[in-house]
Each structure stands twice: as structure tokens, then as C-alpha cells.
């Protein structure tokens, strides 16, 4: 179903938003043009509308006209699994806090050389929850292809961006320790709504059923078939905060579609920025690293260049923390790898449940309500040949690590 532009998203709403964001009551909106900001399968946690605004303002005693493009994110309002999952998980509240408070502080530490995100412009809490943010497209940023996976130059930019994100979060948390408590939920927590649990339980069941048809995979499919009842506990253990770890505010949903890239005239990526901060969580950076590495690089990069990415992450993290005068010590390579090994099940869960949604053919994409319909769980991504090839390599590895044993 195509996204309908809500009636409240009008000239009056945009005028209020711009006046507040720009701190300028002389702003008068002349016209707006609205259209859906994402395609089906690009975003699951909110409805997104791109709004181009023509407006006038007073400057030095005369009226000038300007144009601005913004993205309006709206918490799902249509009844169904998706709405229940997003609302009960409090994802929207997390993003509001990040965009209007924490990220603003993190960005200020890196300006003007780097930016982690667009600017949060306006929030409305309730009826519905709304977040208005800067549109990054006019700045030259665009999404990479989710199905192809990121090549090495894209991955290096992304992993450096992630390291800066984590380093600046350490600096902010040192100054304001209460920031840590603001991001204590994540995907897996003691108050996980049933819709969220079901997404993981049904996804793993579906994978086990598919794997039963793969040649020579019977023993693995039988092991995976025993995992669904335990998958949320496994996820909770893999992501939980530990005082003994080096900890950061994780992006929490660090996959190819939650980042954008800028390119030079030769089509080479030269800059990177994050979007979508609904699942930020304070815990080990292993959580973001495992999720990113399990979902976003091309198969070639993950097989041949994983160590390069870990080294890039650590060198950028250490350099940025030093530059920001952090008192906390960054982890050594051994400490980071040990944390990733202890939490490796999180990468497995991402491979089992998120990766099929990333690799699904664009003409077969379903939204969350369609995937988890009353007629049963259906995700065509599990039948995708690329997904099957990747999992035929990863599942034996997970078994070797003992992750399939419950």
C-alpha cells in the first residue's frame, strides 16, 4: 500500500517547524511539495516523507525567499504488527533523544571536519510522534545498493564513521554519565514486546525449514530448528551491558540502508553519514561491529578483508578518542576481538533474520505486516540464491563456534 501523505503535513505545520528550528518568527511558508522519502524495503521503522518547502524570511530589512528540503519521520499509525512492534519498543523515543540531544553534542565535537548525522529540527511527542530532520540528499548523499553489499572503499568509510560515532559517544558520556542510562534498551531487553520476539522466533524457524531442503545441510537444519525458543535469550546475552567491557553508545541498526555516501565525479565514495537512530544502545561496540559485518559488506570483503576493517576501526577509534581527550582507554585489538567472540551469536542472529530482508529482490519486498501476517510468516528473502550461498558458508562456521548448540 502506497504511503498517504497525512493531512496535518501542511503549510502551517512546516511554518511552525521552520520557525522553531531556525529560531526565526519572520519565516512564512509559501508552498510545499511532499512525496514518500523511501521505497518499500528501504525502511521498516517509520513512515518517511520528503518535503520541499518554499518560504520567505526577513533579512536586513527586506524579504528574501529560500527553499529547503526536509524529511519528516512519522511513527507508524496504521494498526498492525509493525505499529505494535515500533510503538511498544519505544524506538521512536530513542531516536528523538538521539537527534535532539546526544547526536547534537557528538557532532559538535567533530565539526567542521566530520558529521555523524543530519540535524534534528523538530519533534512532536504524541498524536502521532513526529521527527523532522535535515534532508541529506541535497548535500550529495545517497544510499548504496543494499543487495550488492558494500565494496572495500565503502566499508572503510563506514567503519571509520562508526569508530568516530563510538569515540564521540565516549566523550559525551564522560561529561554526562546519565547519557548511558538513556540508551539501555536496544533490540533485546527484558521488556521485549511479543511482536519483536516473534519476528526473531519465526525468522529462525523459517530458515530451518528452508535449510532442510539444502543438500547436505540436514544436520545443521536440525540444530537451527531447536534455536527459535532460545533466540531472544541468546540475543539478550549477546548484547547485554557488562561493566568489564569497553562500552559506547552503539548505533544499534548499523546496516547498509542506515548510512549514506557522497561520491566524487569518478563515482568513488568520499564521505559517509548515518541515518536512523531508533535502536541506539549503550554496550560493547562489538554489537555494532558484528551487525555491520554480518549484514552490509559484499561477500568478497567479508571473506578477504575483515581484518583490514577491524584495524581501521581501532586506529580511527583510538585517534579520535585521543583528539577528544577521553579519559577512558580504547580497547586493544585482543580485547575487542575477545568481546566480538563472546558476543558472536549476535552476528549469527543478524545473518539469520536481517540479512534475508536486505538481500531480497526489489520486486519481492514485503513490509513487516506482510511478512508477519495472520496467514503465517513469509519472507521471500530466505529463497534468495545469494542469501543461500552466504549461509552455506556461515552456518558450518557458526556450528564450529558452538553457536548452534542449545
> For residue 79, what pLDDT band results from cuts at 50, 70 and 90?
low
pLDDT of 131 strictly over 50: yes
* Model pTM score: 0.93
Average pLDDT score over residue span 179-185:
93
Q: Find out whether 202 and 360 touch, Cβ atoms under 8 Å.
A: no
- pLDDT tens digits along 147-158: 889 999 999 999
Average pLDDT score over residue span 206-210:
94
Q: Find out whether 168 and 109 touch, Cβ atoms under 8 Å.
A: yes
Reduced to 3 states (helix: H, G, I; strand: E, B; else coil), residue 147 is coil
Q: What domains are there in the chain, each with its CATH number?
A: 1-74 (no CATH), 83-118+142-400 (3.90.1200)
Can you tell me the distance from the alpha carbon of 241 to that of 247, in angstroms, rounded to the nearest whole number?
8
Distances (CA, A) of 229 to 87, 181, 204, 308, 406: 24, 29, 10, 36, 10
pLDDT of 373 strictly over 80: no
- pLDDT tens digits along 30-41: 999 999 877 655
Can you tell me the distance from the alpha carbon of 5 to that of 392, in angstroms, rounded to the nearest whole number?
43
According to the model, what pLDDT value does residue 299 have?
92
The CA-to-CA distance between both ends of the chain, in Å, stands at 40
Matching residue, cell 519572520: 26
pLDDT of 43 strictly over 70: no
- DSSP code, position 78: S
Q: Is 13 exposed, middle or buried (0-12, 13-18, 19+ CB in 10 A)?
A: buried
Residue among 147, 144, 166, 165 at smallest CA distance from 155: 144
pLDDT of 1 strictly over 50: no
Amino acid at each position: 500500500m502506497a504511503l498517504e501523505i497525512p493531512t496535518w503535513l501542511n503549510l502551517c505545520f512546516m511554518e511552525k517547524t521552520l520557525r522553531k528550528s531556525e529560531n526565526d518568527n519572520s519565516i512564512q511558508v509559501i508552498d510545499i511539495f511532499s512525496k514518500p522519502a523511501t521505497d518499500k524495503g528501504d525502511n521498516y521503522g517509520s513512515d518517511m516523507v520528503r518535503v520541499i518547502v518554499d518560504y520567505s524570511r526577513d533579512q536586513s530589512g527586506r524579504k528574501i525567499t529560500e527553499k529547503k528540503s526536509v524529511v519528516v519521520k512519522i511513527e507508524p499509525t496504521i494498526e498492525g504488527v509493525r505499529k505494535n512492534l515500533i510503538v511498544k519498543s519505544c524506538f521512536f523515543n530513542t531516536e528523538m533523544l538521539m537527534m535532539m540531544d546526544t547526536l547534537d553534542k557528538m557532532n559538535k565535537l567533530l565539526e567542521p571536519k566530520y558529521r555523524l548525522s543530519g540535524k534534528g529540527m523538530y519533534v512532536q511527542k504524541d498524536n502521532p510522534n513526529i521527527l523532522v530532520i535535515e534532508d541529506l540528499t541535497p548535500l550529495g548523499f545517497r544510499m548504496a545498493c543494499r543487495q550488492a553489499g558494500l565494496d572495500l572503499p565503502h566499508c572503510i568509510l563506514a567503519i571509520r564513521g562508526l569508530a568516530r560515532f563510538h569515540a564521540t559517544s565516549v566523550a559525551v558520556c564522560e561529561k554526562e554519565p546519565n547519557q548511558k542510562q538513556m540508551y539501555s534498551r536496544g533490540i533485546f531487553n527484558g521488556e521485549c514486546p511479543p511482536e519483536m520476539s516473534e519476528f526473531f522466533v519465526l525468522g529462525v524457524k523459517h530458515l530451518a525449514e528452508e535449510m532442510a531442503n539444502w543438500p547436505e545441510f540436514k544436520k545443521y537444519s536440525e540444530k537451527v530448528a531447536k534455536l527459535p525458543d532460545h533466540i531472544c535469550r541468546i540475543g539478550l546475552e549477546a548484547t547485554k551491558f557488562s561493566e568489564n567491557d569497553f562500552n559506547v553508545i552503539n548505533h544499534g541498526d548499523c546496516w547498509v540502508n542506515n548510512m549514506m555516501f557522497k561520491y566524487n565525479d569518478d563515482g568513488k565514495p568520499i564521505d559517509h553519514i548515518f541515518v536512523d537512530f531508533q535502536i541506539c544502545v549503550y554496550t560493547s561496540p562489538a554489537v555494532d561491529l558484528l551487525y555491520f559485518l554480518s549484514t552490509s559488506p559484499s561477500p568478497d570483503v567479508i571473506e578477504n578483508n575483515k581484518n583490514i576493517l577491524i584495524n581501521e576501526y581501532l586506529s580511527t577509534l583510538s585517534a579520535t578518542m585521543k583528539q577528544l581527550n577521553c579519559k577512558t582507554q580504547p580497547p586493544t585489538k585482543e580485547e575487542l576481538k575477545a568481546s566480538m567472540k563472546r558476543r558472536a551469536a549476535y552476528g549469527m542472529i543478524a545473518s539469520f533474520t536481517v540479512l534475508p530482508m536486505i538481500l531480497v529482490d526489489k520486486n519481492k519486498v514485503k513490509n513487516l505486516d506482510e511478512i508477519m501476517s495472520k496467514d503465517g510468516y513469509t519472507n521471500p528473502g530466505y529463497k534468495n540464491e545469494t542469501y543461500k550461498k552466504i549461509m552455506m558458508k556461515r552456518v558450518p562456521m557458526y556450528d564450529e563456534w558452538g553457536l548452534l548448540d542449545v
